[in-house]
């Protein structure tokens, strides 16, 4: 396996380990279950499934590519220039996603259920985006698809992108209802993703 692919696979595994460790730390800090995706309800059943397919699939596919590189379908060399932009996207995505998750501390949760949310976090990465963890994950999976644009990784990345966009739409009404005017004021001044648009 070539160097950029090796490094991005290692970064993916580092992200997954960091995600699990920070989630355990948040659970201990909050003193409650923070993973509503363990037994999701409603439409979050589908977003939880898509996230799991994307993350578990990418981890397994990265290992498969490392073990059997000649078995992986290759795209034309015209896409080779995407490798380094993809590597940068993976690196930045991991840093942003883990950094934002760390900043949430005891307010971190997986999924959203009314009455189980922590306090509103508006500083750090959250001053620039209402969903910086998702922004980081989107960058990570876009990068994985760019570094090695085989059809399997493109599908896995699409699963995460669809899940993240869908999950944000599910969570926002829950956050507004649970956190009240403070969240609505925050949403009015902070972009949902990045940039100047609040939507």
pLDDT averaged over 10-residue windows placed end to end, the chain, 199 residues = 77 95 88 80 91 95 81 70 89 97 90 78 94 97 89 94 96 90 93 79
Let me know: does 79 contact 149? Beta carbons within 8 Å. Answer: yes
* Cβ neighbours of residue 175 closer than 8 Å, sequence gap 6 or more: 112, 117, 183
Q: CA–CA separation, 21 vs 15, rounded Å?
A: 10
What pLDDT score does 75 carry?
67
What pLDDT score does 76 carry?
67
Let me know: does 122 contact 40? Beta carbons within 8 Å. Answer: no
What DSSP string describes 101-139? Answer: HHHHGGG--BS--TT-------SGGGGT-S-HHHHHHHH
Q: CA–CA separation, 171 vs 39, rounded Å?
A: 16
């Amino acid at each position: 396996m070539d160097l950029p692919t090796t490094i991005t696979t290692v970064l993916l595994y580092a992200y997954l380990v960091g995600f699990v460790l920070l989630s355990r730390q948040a659970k201990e800090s909050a003193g409650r279950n923070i993973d509503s995706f363990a037994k999701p309800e409603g439409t979050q059943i589908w977003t939880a499934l898509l996230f799991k397919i994307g993350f578990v699939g990418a981890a397994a596919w990265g290992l498969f590519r490392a073990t059997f590189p000649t078995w992986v379908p290759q795209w034309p060399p015209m896409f080779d220039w995407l490798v380094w932009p993809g590597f940068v996207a993976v690196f930045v995505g991991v840093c942003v996603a883990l950094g934002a998750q760390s900043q949430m501390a005891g307010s971190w949760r997986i999924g959203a259920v009314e009455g189980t949310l922590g306090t509103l976090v508006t500083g750090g990465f959250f001053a620039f985006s209402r969903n910086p963890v998702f922004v980081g994950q989107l960058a990570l999976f876009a990068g994985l698809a760019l570094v090695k644009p085989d059809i399997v990784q493109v599908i896995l990345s699409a699963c995460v992108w669809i899940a993240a966009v869908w999950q944000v739409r599910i969570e926002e009404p829950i956050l507004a209802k649970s956190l009240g005017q403070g969240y609505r004021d925050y949403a009015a001044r902070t972009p949902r993703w990045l940039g100047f648009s609040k939507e």
